[in-house]
A and B are shown apart, each in its own frame.
Chain A
Amino acid sequence: MARIGVFICHCGTNIGGVVDIPRVLEAAKEMPQVVFVDGNKYTCSEPGQASVREAIIENQLDKVVIGSCSPRMHERTFRNTVASAGLNPYLLEIANLREHCSWVHGYDKEEATAKAIELIKMAVAKVSRHEALFPKEAGITKRALVIGGGVAGSQAALDIANAGYEVVLVEREPTIGGRMAQLDKTFPTLDCSACILAPKMVDVGQHPNITLRTYAEVRKVGGFVGNFEVEILQRAKMVDHTKCTGCGTCWDKCPEKVDSEFDLGLGKRTAIYIPFPQAVPPKPVIDTDHCRHIKYRQFMEEGGEGKPPPKCLICEKLCPAEAIDWSQQDEIITEKFGAIVVATGFKTFDYTAYEEFGGGRYPDVITSLQLERLMNAAGPTDGEVVRPSDGAHPKTVVFISCVGSRDERKQRSYCSKVCCMYMAKHAIMLKEHDPDVQCYIFYIDIRAGGKDFDEFARRAQEEYGALYLRGRVSKIYQDCKKLIVLGEDTLMGRPVEIPADLVVLATGIEPSDGAAELAQTINISYDTHNFFVEAHVKLRPVETQMDGIFLAGCCVGPRDIPESVAQGSAAASKVTDLFSQERLVTDPMVAVIDAMKCTGCMLCATICPFNAIDSQTTRDGRIMAVVNESLCKGCGLCTAACRPGAANLRGFTQQQLLAEVTSLWQ
């Protein structure tokens, strides 16, 4: 016979104002195995918790029911209260008398009270079948994996490394730096992007605790928090970085020219290349899709004939360090980690979907990121802002906001947050490059919410003469050397036609290519736009639903550099928080399989979403299913599927749920 105590919280008037608590307490006294009942004004408060604690001790209660707000609110709080009275914290059940009763049935106090009594009865029935549960412990591998070497990932890697832990940073491109490395100046201070980023990049490259794996991708993730096992695909660079000195002779002399991805098609690079001068590592890779020697080698391997070998191997011939290594192969490296930070960043919306803007046919319609490359002194035009078509300096530049943002019809209804600010920045920069330039900015709203942001946006108009036109652009067409932009000035209530030399589209932010596949590999959630999903948008912005996996930067949603850096540090702090523990305590509400009832059909193992169930052979040759409690997440799929009822989920056992059902309407 248990000794159950029932405590009903008034929650001020939230519950007490609707539910007749004295009547519920009276009814609770009659419920089976209930030996003590009490009401409380605010059970979650210090005095409230103290009174529960005292009642448990004085009355030797061994199980507790608390009728209060939703368990999603205070389950942890009340478990601690119960534990502080010396009772196992899992010998508690909470009846939701607020969100599921008083707050939705306030129109009928009689009904609300009757329902409250039933809810207490259900909780009493359930708790009578509760057993003490004891968390288990597991070890933690104190090494972190950071996926993505942009500013958010770099910040995370540095913070974790500075805290004294090993970090492996995996970056898909040949260099770290991400999108920030492509920028010229950053708002609102207009400092040079590379100047502030490069020292961070160098720190990452040189930090003794950071292993930098560029030109690599994460292929497989298994295990669980504290004990991840990850397969990393290291692509063959064809250059031995232990020998290479980064002298640059090879990329200087390579004859094969390819459109540069870093310069977004506005410039060229060579087949053996570093993406930009301050690349980290400052050592090249060979693009095997375009290297003449590799292509010939592949042609011969596939049985090709009749083609003479290309006159190349110049890099190999000229390299003073003999660092070219044609024998390199892609390899899979398996490593163990305790935590993972995902910071895979963003790409920009492909504006060719907008036929009205030329669909990509006009070379002088460019994206804002392309404009950054033009403005950048290390860019394809050495910092001269010129028209891609004829190299002339533009005098009339038109900016169009929200291209691929705030547009239902292109399935991009969200705002990309940073575009208003960078358009203002571009207007200011262009005027600094050329005092004769006139900028027009077509906008819907001006979003300038950060520190000094609004002042910055106003400067673009007041000091730098940018003309802001509130309206949208319906069409752009080419007329000789000009691009005619047809738009609307809604504040003046009239259409506008501007013959522009250059049109810059503020293209929206979206997750990098392969985001959805990576999310599936890691088993984290992603939304319809492929942005990764936080555990809680407000309260847990850098965590995911999977313990031990954290998020930072634009892979979660559009944000600017200070926010990405802050999140990188926040994610790092979550990692060091995890690593500061000696052992991991696992949730005891896991499934357990009764070996006497298990018939070895393994349906549970097939269904388990976390591969937490293995088969074991007993000494007499029977196959049994066994739950790996570290992997089990407590979903209960196995329990519902098990025909003989061998699998049972602690905390939501068959007995407990059935007890709730059979307590109804008695």
Chain B
Amino acid sequence: MAVEDFQPRMVGFLCNWCSYAGADMAGTSRMSYPPNIRIIRVPCSGRVDPLLIVKAFQQGADGVLVAGCHPGDCHYVEGNYYARRRLALFRLLLEFIGIDPRRLCVEWVSAVEGKRFSQVVTSFTEELVRLGPRSEVQVGA
């Protein structure tokens, strides 16, 4: 498969108050970004269980994005601080078993950063195109 043909499969876990709203703003401002990402709404980035991330990879995701509020701005006060620790540690473990850490992208996007959201998704998509597909794709449990 030629590199240009490869369409990465991407999941995004976006927190309702900041990043999901930021993604909405990208829409309101008619920013464009590649259509690969599938967004799952969560109340807080701290809601993202590592189990959901591994299942997403198992389902065929080439990349997983987790986006939350900037540290200090979490709607639930401190959810993103816990998310930061949890995801930083989990990413290191994934890397240890052979999953490229660049495939788990964690970003802070605020409700007014529509342009930034579209940039994050665009560069993540481009990065995944460069990285190529995850080696084995086993769909369904």
Interface residues of A (CB under 8 A from B): 70-72, 96, 98-101, 103-108, 111-112, 114-115, 118-119, 122, 523, 525, 545, 589, 607, 609-610, 633-637, 639-641, 649, 652, 654, 657-658, 660-662, 664-666
Contacts and interface: CB of A to CB of B under 8 A. Distances in A.
B46 interface: yes
Contacts of B65: none
Contacts of B82: 607, 637, 641
Interface residues of B, number: 46
B86 A640 contact: yes
Interface stretch (B19-27, B92-100, B101-109): B19-27
Contact of A661 (B16, B21, B47, B55): B55
| Most chain B Cβ neighbours within 10 Å, of A71, A104, A637, A641 | A104
A104 B49 contact: no
Given A111-B35, A665-B139, A609 B47 contact: no
A655 to B, nearest CB: 11
10 nearest CB pairs, A to B: A99-B27, A636-B47, A635-B76, A103-B27, A111-B35, A99-B24, A637-B46, A640-B49, A635-B44, A609-B77
B27 A72 contact: no
Contact of B47 (A71, A96, A114, A649): A649
B73 interface: yes
A377 to B, nearest CB: 47
A105 B24 CA distance: 13
A636 B11 contact: no
B138 to A, nearest CB: 12
A41 to B, nearest CB: 20
A610 to B, nearest CB: 8
Contact of A103 (B11, B21, B30): B30
Given A103-B28, A635-B44, A635-B46, A661 B35 contact: no
Given A661-B11, A665-B9, A636 B43 contact: yes
Contact of B52 (A523, A637, A661): A661
Contact of B31 (A101, A104, A636, A662): A104
Contacts of A637: 44, 46-47, 76, 79, 82
Contacts of B35: 101, 104-105, 108, 111-112, 114-115
5 contacts: A104-B31, A607-B82, A635-B75, A649-B43, A654-B49
The dominant DSSP class at the B interface is: mixed
A664 B47 contact: no
| Most chain B Cβ neighbours within 10 Å, of A70, A545, A641, A649 | A70
| Most chain B Cβ neighbours within 10 Å, of A118, A609, A639, A662 | A609
B61 interface: yes
B133 to A, nearest CB: 12
A107 B141 CA distance: 35
B56 interface: yes
A611 to B, nearest CB: 11
A100 B59 CA distance: 22
Nearest to B137: A665
B60 to A, nearest CB: 5
B119 to A, nearest CB: 12
B88 interface: no
A664 B49 contact: no
B118 interface: yes
A112 B32 CA distance: 11
Contacts of A610: 76-77
Contact of A657 (B20, B27, B40): B40
A96 B9 CA distance: 18
A100 B35 CA distance: 9
Given A641-B86, A664-B38, A664-B61, 8 more contacts: A100-B23, A101-B35, A104-B30, A105-B32, A105-B35, A115-B35, A652-B43, A666-B140
A633 B16 CA distance: 13
Contacts of A119: 38
Contacts of A100: 23-24, 27, 39
Contacts of A106: 30, 32
Given A607-B82, A609-B77, A635-B46, A104 B33 contact: yes
B59 A661 contact: yes
Contacts of B9: 664-665
B130 interface: no
B43 A635 contact: yes
Contacts of B52: 654, 657-658, 661
B128 interface: no
Contact of A104 (B27, B61, B79, B141): B27
Interface string B1-17: 00000000101000010
A661 B139 contact: no
Contacts of A649: 43, 47
Nearest to B49: A640
| Most chain B Cβ neighbours within 10 Å, of A525, A641, A657, A666 | A657
Given A107-B32, A525-B73, A96 B49 contact: no
Nearest to A118: B38
B26 to A, nearest CB: 6
A519 to B, nearest CB: 11
Interface string B50-90: 01100110011100000000000101111100100010000
A525 to B, nearest CB: 7
A103 B28 CA distance: 7
B43 A609 contact: no
A32 to B, nearest CB: 14
B34 to A, nearest CB: 8
Given A118-B38, A635-B79, A661 B56 contact: yes
B71 to A, nearest CB: 13
A67 to B, nearest CB: 14
B30 A640 contact: no
B96 to A, nearest CB: 20
A528 to B, nearest CB: 9
B42 interface: yes
Interface in B121-141: 139-141
B27 A545 contact: no
Nearest to B76: A635
Given A609-B76, A609-B78, A662 B141 contact: yes
Contacts of B20: 70, 72
A536 to B, nearest CB: 10
Nearest to B47: A636
A637 B31 CA distance: 31
Given A100-B23, A635-B46, A636-B47, A662 B59 contact: yes
